Amino acid sequence: WPGLRRAITPEIAAATARLMGARDLMVAASRLRVITRCRNTMGQPGVFGVRIQPNHPADDPTGVALSVLDGLLYGCGDAVIGLNPVIDSVESVRVLEHTIARIIDQVGAPTQSCVLAHVTTQLAALEAGAPIDLLFQSLGGTEGTNRSFGVSLSALADGREAVLAHHRDRGGFIGEQVMYFETGQGSALSAEANAGLDQLTCEARAHGVARHFDPFLVNSVVGFIGPEYLADARQIIRAGLEDHFVGKLLGLPMGVDVCYTNHVDADADTTDQLLMLLASAGCNFVMAVPGSDDVMLNYQSTSPHDAVAARELLGLAPAPEFAEWLERVGIHVDGVLATPSAPGPTALR
């Protein structure tokens, strides 16, 4: 597979997934490991990463900081500390990037930061002095979908080069994978840009676009668009397993935002089930949203508690550099969360 994955087209990957049951999708994906490096190393066997998602309804830096620290205290954040901003402005992104970077620097955590604004806003913030670890963009599987997102492949290529140049001046990076992409079944259909293709093939084509840019992280936001595209819990679970397998088959460091909207026929049992299935299948990372309820995006995802439970049940660990830091500062003791009687996280006091 390592020598063949670049030859696998998105259409082949999507067609293969259609022939497979849920167990097949899990077993096959578990054998496909994609390892990436930025400030730490993600994707090794036995590693289950978590993105802290410290969204705030007013982009308040203090509120964001509290959510970041809460996530770190649960051993989360090795994949990225990634915030979706309310305000897509250069100044807001600059302030939020500095807020997260300052926390990472002060506690010494070997991880990445990202503010998930539009790529052009992030690059303008970079010009204004923001410390950009990962450059983010939502991707679609057709030119029309990406046009609706306001993005072109040439703009992504130019942005990648700008961030790499920025990293050479900053230091602290162990790899040159600097892109972070989100995808999700239904985005092309919702933009009326699917050109007659089914949503799994469109999703696979989005993965093909992502592969071109050698990303550090990719995740499907599997249930975010709503019941118009994934009607219920059964379809959300199936789509999550499909997206993970197809991404891995194409050579992506694939994670999944295990989520649903409030008007779909799904509940917390749905996310619990899909979370455990994906963790068993070798998923690179999931989300840690405080209380599982995103107060800005208004949808339900997985929480830090959920991620900890999955790691403990399946014997999984954070990224190795991050795991070492967790032990050093007292958040973890012998690979698990410290008990209340333990000394505690000295670096976060």
State how far the alpha carbon of 162 is from the alpha carbons of 116, 133, 171, in Å.
17, 11, 15
Contact 29, 282 (CB under 8 A): yes
Is 348 part of any domain?
Answer: no
Tell me the three state secondary structure of residue 273: helix
Is 306 part of any domain?
Answer: yes
What confidence score (pLDDT) does residue 346 get? 61
Burial label, 18 (beta-carbon count in 10 A; 0-12, 13-18, 19+): exposed
What confidence score (pLDDT) does residue 341 get? 59
Residue 1's pLDDT band, with cuts at 50, 70 and 90, is: confident
Give the chain's end-to-end CA distance (angstroms, integer): 46
What is the per-residue pLDDT across 211-239, written as a single tens digit (0 to 9) for each? 999 999 999 999 888 898 999 999 999 99
> What is the CB neighbour count within 10 angstroms for residue 230?
27
CA-based nearest residue to 261, from 296, 301, 234, 291: 301
What is the per-residue pLDDT across 244-292, written as a single tens digit (0 to 9) for each? 999 999 999 999 999 999 999 999 999 999 999 999 999 999 999 999 9
What confidence score (pLDDT) does residue 347 get? 56
Is 58 part of any domain?
Answer: yes
Is 111 part of any domain?
Answer: yes
| Mean pLDDT (the chain, rounded) | 96
**339 pLDDT higher than 60:** yes
The DSSP-derived string for 173-230 is -S----EEEEE-TTHHHHTT-STT--HHHHHHHHHHHHHHT--SEEEEETTSS-TTTS
**299 pLDDT higher than 80:** yes
Residues contacting 66, CB < 8 A, separation 6+: 54
How many angstroms separate the CA atoms of 49 and 336, rounded?
14
Is 33 part of any domain?
Answer: yes
What confidence score (pLDDT) does residue 50 get? 99
Is 341 part of any domain?
Answer: no
What is the per-residue pLDDT across 72-114, written as a single tens digit (0 to 9) for each? 999 999 999 999 999 999 999 999 999 999 999 999 999 999 9
Is 193 part of any domain?
Answer: yes
Residues contacting 235, CB < 8 A, separation 6+: none
| Torsions phi, psi for 204 (to 5 deg) | -60, -40
Tell me the three state secondary structure of residue 286: strand
Mean pLDDT of 121-136: 98
Percentage of residues in the chain with pLDDT exceeding 70? 97
Supply the CATH number for residue 284's domain. Answer: 3.20.20.70
What is the per-residue pLDDT across 4-54, written as a single tens digit (0 to 9) for each? 889 999 999 999 999 999 999 999 999 999 999 999 999 999 999 999 999
**70 pLDDT higher than 70:** yes
Is 293 part of any domain?
Answer: yes
How many structural domains does the chain have? 1
Mean pLDDT of 145-155: 97
The domain of 213 spans 5-329
What is the per-residue pLDDT across 151-198, written as a single tens digit (0 to 9) for each? 999 999 999 999 999 999 998 999 999 999 999 999 999 999 999 999
**323 pLDDT higher than 60:** yes
